[in-house]
Amino acid sequence: METGLFYSKSGQAQAGFTLIELMISLTLGLLIVAAAIQLFITGITSYKLQKAMAHIQDNASLGLNFIVDDIRKANLSSPVPAINDQTSYAGILLSSNNVGGKIDLNCTDCFSNNQIASFGNANVAGLTNDQLMIRYQAPQGGLDCSGQNVANGTFVIQRYFVGSTSTDLRQSLRCQAAQYTQAMLDAKTTTDRLKLVWGESQVILPNVDLFQIRLGYMDGELNSANSMIAYTDVKNYMALTAAKKNIDGITQTVRPYVHAIQIGVLVRSDDKTGDQSVIKQRNKEPFQVLGTKVNLTPASQDTYLRQVVDQTISLRNAMGWVSEGCDSSKSSSCTNGGGWNMINAQRGSTLIIVLMIVLMITIVGTLAIRQSISSLKLVSNHQIQTLLAQNADTALMYFQDPNTQQNLASANGVVGFFKNENNKNAELVFCFSGTDPFALTKAAYRLNSANFEPMASNAGMCKVDSSNAANDTASQSSGRKQVVTQVYIKREINPTAPFADLSRGTEVFGAKTENNIRLRVYVVSVMQGLLTSDALFKADRDINKGCLTKSIDNNGANDVATCLKQNIEKPLYNIQVAEYRFLSDFEPSSS
């Protein structure tokens, strides 16, 4: 009888996993899962850090460039080519004396105790946010920082300050603008002043913890080898001892003239970087803003990423100074025994190139890689704009070089050309390249016709043909083969006060006659290396073609700026303008 019992034929029993083996398996599994989770958390943390860094770099690059471009225009068309706290209608407003007697600024937050006001700061211990106010005459139509339309020749006052609104609670660097014209100002008096109307403030740079400015002035005699540009804040500048000088026969007490502006900004990211002790510890340590140690308040020592951004801007329209009672026969720096002069050589640092170090972190995830590529594109665009600005600066510095000005001011130079009454409405154009780029033989001119006529064969506008010897190294300037720089010169025909540029006094040996001329210089730099064709260099009646063959100023109808903006190739370009006054000894010709 069978009992139903089963048994192994081999006589060996089957055995499963033991408890120890199961525990080891679970432990190994947990370690693998923990490593995967840690890798995921590290990736998320790195992504947040990269995103915060990208936001800071993007905002700083775009916002700071906007401010720098406007500051470079400060003091354009000002009555006096210099700035201190007493200069009326100045390009930098340091005190209420700079506003102008006929203008009611209509701004309660602009000045305090006769100097530009500063504002409290809840994020930084012991420091306040500075305020910067500039004034310039718009060289062409466009928009001001408040988004208002600006006509050519309109005077614009812009104030930069840190603040917030009821709809945007972030502390951001904002800009607010007001406008007026010369006709509006001429219709007013010191008793019936022109009341300005301000536009809405707009965000220029978001999430700003601190905004500081420094004024650069010549510390020492202008022609002394021991002199240098010193920088200080507005409060300390106003505390400088004012020196008594004999200016135009009148004893005046003046402070040093301001030749440069330094901007320093402490910017934070839009979002926190997570619970990172490294960021918290960094925010507990002081930051260096324009040489000053800045400590965050305990409440601000969080995990927001912060970075200091600074830049130095030379005030090219405020490079003048007043000399007193010097003898022009003994010193080449003197003119007619005193009066307004222009600096022959800039001292100190004129251009500070901000080197942006991009921290590239390899991150697992497509979003982080895309963000890194976007940041790289923005940095490349910033470098291209810096390159274009440097080429334009090179042309302007060459134009105002003392050795160059001797040829420019001669009877057969640029000044002699414009002193001919038949040419006062003309427009000269040069391709800035090679040696002696401002010789008239290398120029083209435009008078009554719509086209430029060359002074000599193959002269005038920049050309794309590198084999043409008349182009002098293929129309590229500064040895850079990717950039072409074209210079336009026009005579400023708006009337000025008689003898405004001569010193007042008596002369027993002979009378003086006014014989000066104002020239406005436009510099257009274009990144040639990124163009897909040579259409910009070929004359064409189409407003969107042949941009470099058009006039610089044609009331916005068909000029260089309009063409470059609307061109289908979207060229990268930079346009800068400066004004110069020449006093010459020869009489103008009308033949």
Structure tokens at 217: 């002035």
Residue 332 or 214, more confident: 214
Which stretch of 15-19, 165-169, 244-248, 291-295 has the lowest confidence by average pLDDT? 244-248
Mean pLDDT estimate for the chain: 75
Q: What is the distance between the alpha carbons of residues 11 and 29, in angstroms, rounded to a whole number?
A: 36
Q: What is the distance between the alpha carbons of residues 163 and 161, in angstroms, rounded to a whole number?
A: 6
Q: What is the pLDDT of residues 65-85, one digit of tens each?
A: 888 888 888 888 888 888 888
- pLDDT score at 539: 62
- pLDDT score at 229: 83
- CA-to-CA dists, residue 460 to 189, 443, 453, angstroms: 46, 4, 8
DSSP assignment string, 551-565: BS-STTSSBHHHHHH
pTM given for the model: 0.51
Q: What is the pLDDT of residues 204-259, one digit of tens each?
A: 888 899 999 999 987 766 555 667 788 999 999 988 877 766 555 556 677 888 88
- CA-to-CA dists, residue 65 to 178, 499, 520, 561, angstroms: 21, 38, 24, 19
Judge whether residue 195 has pLDDT over 90: yes
- pLDDT score at 376: 58
Residue 404: pLDDT band (50, 70, 90) is: confident
Highest mean pLDDT among 109-113, 517-521, 558-562: 109-113
- pLDDT score at 6: 44
- Judge contact between 121 and 129, C-beta under 8 A: yes
- Judge contact between 538 and 549, C-beta under 8 A: yes
- pLDDT score at 440: 76
- pLDDT score at 275: 67
Residue 533 or 277, more confident: 277
Phi, psi dihedral angles at 156 (to 5 degrees): -125, 130
Judge whether residue 132 has pLDDT over 90: yes
Cβ count within 10 A of residue 50? 25
Judge whether residue 416 has pLDDT over 50: yes
Q: What is the distance between the alpha carbons of residues 431 and 444, in angstroms, rounded to a whole number?
A: 9
Residue 180: pLDDT band (50, 70, 90) is: very high
Which stretch of 27-36, 63-72, 286-295, 432-441 has the lowest confidence by average pLDDT? 432-441
